[in-house]
Amino acid sequence: MKKKIVGLVLFGAAAAMMTAGVSAEDLIKVGYAQVGHESDWRTANTQNYQDVFSEENGYELSLVDCDNDNAAQIEAVRNFKDQDLDYIVIAPIQSAGWDTVLQEVQDAGIPVIIADREIEADESLYDAWVGTNTYNEGVTAGNWLAEQLDGAEANILQIEGSVGASAAIGRTNGFAEVMADHSEWKLLDSQSGDFTQDGGQTVMESFIKSYEGQFNVVICQNDNEAYGAMDAMDAAGITYGVGGDVILISYDATHDGLQYTLDGKFNLDVECNPIQAEVVKGVIEKMVAGEEFDKNTLVTDEAFNAPGITSEFATEMTQEILDGRAY
């Protein structure tokens, strides 16, 4: 009889725990050193992490917005280590400079997942990577342009992302690989707009001063830069998009970017999918369970071009696609 009662009492306590949700100390503590708040892409990525790594899902998320400041990001990771969090996720502002702090974290026995972008550190210094292939995104943009120009000349201006960011390096190098096959293309200039709308506008204004009337292609390495470039071209009376004098290519395919693509203001928007937190959570769950997990998981992308354009490298944008997007 006694055993039964004890059983009931224990069961009751466990049930109470369950209904009250897991207790604070049972939450899995995840640190996320986020790039910053430079773009709509980043906002969508941050919201996605906050939705997925919630207390209801059993997590305590410490998200630090590192404001595009590399030193602040390294410090945030060091602080995560000192707080002895369970897992550390890093979306690296810069590709370089990670070896020392990653070694410290590894010595402290905390698993590290590199997310979104890439780093130049040896892969033995982190446990997993979840992100997109921005080199391929650049190749896609190049292949689409070659297909559409079909041998016609291109005088190209490029607004790059943040200096030293793998997303900028990848897109620049991927596009350059295709450009190398086209002697009829000329890259007039390529400067960083730091993935921001102000940066895109400032760089485009300076480009217009130097190259007005000489360019027929503008490539912006994210949608927010493209919004700035559009403002600068509007102010200078330069037409762009379908039927315009300038082909406008962007990256990210955020909601507003795809709206501009649907409207024919963007000729092409190459997707870079920010909805990555579920994949990262899947890796952490395997780590928690002591199960095998993939070292590298690619989050797939596609590309969208304006209606009326057929392409082997991009999907024709429609209202249905826009309405069905997660971000």
| Least distance to ligand GZL, CB of residue 188, Å | 23
Contact 104, 79 (CB under 8 A): no
Please pick, from the candidates 27, 30, 33, 42, the single residue that binds ligand GZL as defined by CB under 6 A.
42
Considering only the stretches 16-24, 88-96, 180-188, 197-205, report the one whose residues sit in contact with Zn ion under the rule CB under 5 A.
Answer: 180-188
Q: Give the dihedral of Cα atoms 222, 225, 229, 230; nearest 10 deg.
A: 70
Please pick, from the candidates 31, 34, 39, 77, the single residue that binds ligand GZL as defined by CB under 6 A.
39
From ligand GZL, Zn ion, none, interface partner of 182 (C-beta below 5 to 8 A by class): Zn ion
Angle (CA) 151 156 160, round 5°: 135
For the record, the structure tokens of 203 come out as 């760089």
Partners of residue 249 on adjacent β-strands: 219, 268
The reply to whether 175 sits near ligand GZL by the rule CB under 6 A is no
Residue whose Cβ sits closest to Zn ion: 182
The nearer residue to ligand GZL, 118 or 127, going by C-beta atoms, is 118
- Tell me the three state secondary structure of residue 271: strand
Contact 315, 321 (CB under 8 A): yes
User: Which x/- pattern, by CB under 5 A, does the window 136-175 give for Zn ion?
Assistant: ----------------------------------------
Ranges within 303-322 binding ligand GZL (CB under 6 A): none
Contact 207, 240 (CB under 8 A): no
Please pick, from the candidates 37, 78, 182, 286, the single residue that binds Zn ion as defined by CB under 5 A.
182
Q: How far apart are CA 238 and CA 243, in angstroms?
A: 12
Nearest alpha-carbon partner for 237 in 211, 263, 208: 208
Contact 258, 238 (CB under 8 A): no
Partners of residue 220 on adjacent β-strands: 159
| Least distance to ligand GZL, CB of residue 228, Å | 13
User: Which x/- pattern, by CB under 6 A, does the window 244-283 give for ligand GZL?
Assistant: -------xx-------------------x-----------
Ranges within 74-133 binding ligand GZL (CB under 6 A): 116-117, 132
Binding site for ligand GZL (CB under 6 A): 38-39, 41-42, 116-117, 132, 167, 195, 222, 251-252, 272
